[in-house]
Amino acid sequence: MKIGIITSPNEKGQIVIPKAYRDKLSITSEIKLNILLEDNFLSIYPIYTIASKPTIYENDAFLAVLKKTQGAWRKSNKTDKAEIKRNTYEFKETQKNKKLW
């Protein structure tokens, strides 16, 4: 077991993160900390970025990007005969494998 800086909590259970550690991890009063209980010890991790709920403007920008790129990911309504034949064959082979399994 490694021993670092030993401290005691106050009456409210609060502890102070030593300045040397705060400086090394760039922890300020604006930084959120993730505190995890693991077995019989606490782990504290600084969280530098938090994914927040997007604003209405970010939603609009996201939708605009989706509309511009929809041709890249949208499945075509037109399906050629070779693709239909291939899909049918794959489906039948899958059903055979299920029965064997």
Residue with more model confidence, 17 or 4: 17
End-to-end CA distance of the chain: 51
Give the residue range(s) of CATH 2.10.260 domains in the chain: 1-51
How far is C-alpha 41 from the chain's CA centre? 25
- pLDDT tens, 40-96? 888 888 888 766 666 666 677 777 777 777 665 555 556 677 777 887 888 888 888
Environment class of 22 (CB within 10 Å of its CB; exposed 0-12, middle 13-18, buried 19+): middle
Q: What is the DSSP annotation of 19-58?
A: HHHHHHHT--TTSEEEEEEETTEEEEEEE----PPPPHHH
Q: Does domain 1-51 have CATH number 2.60.120?
A: no
Is the pTM higher than 0.75? no
- pLDDT tens, 84-95? 788 788 888 888
